[in-house]
């Protein structure tokens, strides 16, 4: 498997050596592409020794240099940019091609895994957030950054994810991390819509991105995956059986039908708690509309399947606007869950966003904080926690 590791000019560049070493130990053929700024932190000779290949610095090195990036792009199975500085993110987002690495990034058609590393002040800047959002929209994958001590004695989100975790994620993307082979995941995603009349409905702003990210990550790890989704614009993940529904009642029916074959259930959908008691068959005219709508509770899908849990591992989600951990822990107990993922949605946060911060609680009382990170990264870390429980 041919992998290119792009190293950009940040203090975390020295950690890229461990990424190169780890990928080679896992059977990858590794080439390293460095920016000029990266050479101020680590010499090309170091990466040449670690990769056993000449380091790529310029488009104009050697007689064949003018086509090297295209030839290598055809062979590359994965591009890992680690560390990715704020400058590198801006260039990748804008499509600037002023060195070997950025030109190569435009030529590849393989997955791109980006591991940002920068001062927390820079990571929180709106320009950086916009660039990350652009890259996510184009299909780039992110891992990190993490919360921790920085070289400048600051603390916050901006620290490079540990090299071993980056290597694990890279191998997962390459398809060699088949750690969920033999498991069947039932995942729910998106909102539900409860009709008021023929053209209006009750719903919420959920995009479905989190549930889809979990389904996609699970299938890469070898699991069979059934995804039951409410209305969502996210495309069906490859290799996943997707069942599209609209109402909470339809979602319940699909979940109950798929449950007997599932070994793991992840309920990430934002199911409407209420439906209209008597939806109008046609459009209610504004002039004649009643100002009162009677609501009735929708089926409690999570409560119902918790009674049928058996040996399955059951993971729920809790979207809260206050007392995040306390409310989530109460739901964890009431619904007989193994784990619950709690996220703060006050002010509309989390719904539709690409980056998320959550707290994962388990029945043993442990709390694990994930993010702020792209939802694909949160999905991968959640599956890691699920695998730990399966192995216990």
Q: Please, what are the domains in the chain?
A: 2-174 (3.40.50.1950), 184-391 (3.40.50.10300)
> What is residue 38's predicted lDDT score, i.e. its pLDDT?
96
Tens-digit pLDDT profile for residues 209-241: 999 999 998 998 889 999 999 999 999 988 899
> What is residue 319's predicted lDDT score, i.e. its pLDDT?
87
Tell me the C-alpha to C-alpha distance, in Å, between residue 172 and each of 86, 89, 178, 220: 25, 23, 7, 6
Tell me the C-alpha to C-alpha distance, in Å, between residue 7 and each of 94, 114, 145: 18, 11, 15
Q: Which of 87, 204, 327, 336 is catalytic?
A: 204
Could you give the CA distance from residue 356 to residue 339 in angstroms, rounded to a whole number?
A: 18
> What is residue 176's predicted lDDT score, i.e. its pLDDT?
66
Is residue 318 within 8 Å of 331, Cβ to Cβ?
yes
3-7, 125-129, 353-357: segment of lowest average pLDDT: 353-357
Tell me the C-alpha to C-alpha distance, in Å, between residue 227 and each of 253, 265, 271, 334: 13, 10, 14, 24
> How many Cα atoms within 13 Å fall on the side-chain side of residue 36?
4
Could you give the CA distance from residue 92 to residue 178 in angstroms, rounded to a whole number?
A: 30
Tokens encoding 146: 């993490």
Is residue 327 among the annotated active site residues? no
Sign of the CA dihedral with 193 first, then 209, 365, and 308 last: positive
Is residue 298 within 8 Å of 248, Cβ to Cβ?
yes
pLDDT at 149 over 90: no
Confidence band for 61, pLDDT divided at 50, 70 and 90: low
Interacting residues of 288 by C-beta distance below 8 A, sequence separation 6+? none
Pairing verdict, β 264-267 and 274-276: unpaired
Tens-digit pLDDT profile for residues 82-99: 999 999 999 999 999 999
Could you give the CA distance from residue 305 to residue 290 in angstroms, rounded to a whole number?
A: 37
> How many Cα atoms within 13 Å fall on the side-chain side of residue 297?
3
Tens-digit pLDDT profile for residues 305-364: 999 999 999 999 998 888 999 999 999 999 999 999 999 887 665 677 778 889 999 999
Could you give the CA distance from residue 158 to residue 66 in angstroms, rounded to a whole number?
A: 36
Confidence band for 155, pLDDT divided at 50, 70 and 90: confident
Q: What integer best gives the mean pLDDT of the chain?
A: 90
> What is residue 68's predicted lDDT score, i.e. its pLDDT?
64
128-132, 197-201, 376-380: segment of lowest average pLDDT: 376-380
């Amino acid at each position: 498997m041919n992998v290119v590791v792009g190293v950009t000019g940040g203090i975390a560049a020295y950690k890229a050596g461990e990424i190169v070493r780890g990928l080679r130990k896992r059977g990858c053929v590794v080439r390293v592409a460095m920016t000029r700024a990266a050479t101020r932190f680590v010499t090309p000779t170091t990466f040449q020794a670690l990769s056993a290949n000449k380091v790529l610095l310029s488009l104009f090195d050697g007689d064949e240099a003018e086509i090297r990036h295209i030839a290598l792009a055809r062979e590359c199975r994965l591009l890992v940019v680690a560390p990715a500085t704020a400058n590198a993110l801006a260039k990748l987002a804008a499509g600037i091609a002023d060195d070997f690495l950025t030109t190569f990034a435009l030529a590849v058609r393989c997955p791109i895994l980006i591991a940002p590393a920068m001062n927390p002040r820079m990571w929180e800047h709106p320009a950086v957030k916009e660039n990350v959002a652009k890259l996510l929209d184009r299909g780039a994958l992110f891992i990190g950054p993490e919360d921790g001590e920085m070289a400048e004695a600051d603390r916050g989100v901006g620290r490079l994810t540990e090299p071993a975790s980056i290597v694990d994620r890279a191998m997962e993307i390459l398809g060699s991390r088949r750690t969920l082979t033999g498991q069947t995941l039932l995942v729910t995603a998106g909102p539900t819509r409860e009709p008021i009349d023929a053209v209006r409905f009750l719903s919420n702003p959920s995009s479905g991105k989190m549930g889809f990210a979990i389904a996609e990550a699970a299938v890469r790890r070898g699991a069979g995956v059934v995804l039951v989704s409410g209305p969502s614009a996210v495309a069906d993940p490859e290799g996943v059986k997707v069942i599209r529904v609209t109402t909470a009642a339809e979602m319940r029916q699909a979940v109950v039908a798929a449950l007997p074959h599932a070994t793991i259930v992840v309920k990430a959908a934002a199911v409407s708690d209420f439906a209209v008691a008597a939806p109008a068959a046609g459009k209610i005219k504004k002039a004649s509309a009643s100002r009162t709508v009677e609501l009735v509770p929708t089926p409690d899908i999570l409560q119902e399947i918790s009674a049928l849990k058996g040996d399955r591992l059951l993971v729920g989600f809790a979207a809260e606007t206050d007392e995040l951990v306390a409310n989530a822990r109460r739901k964890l107990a009431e619904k007989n869950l193994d784990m619950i993922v709690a996220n703060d949605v006050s002010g509309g946060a989390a719904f539709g966003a690409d980056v998320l911060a959550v707290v994962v609680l388990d029945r043993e009382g442990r709390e694990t904080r994930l993010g702020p990170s792209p939802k694909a990264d949160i999905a991968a870390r959640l599956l890691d926690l699920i695998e730990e429980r399966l192995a216990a």
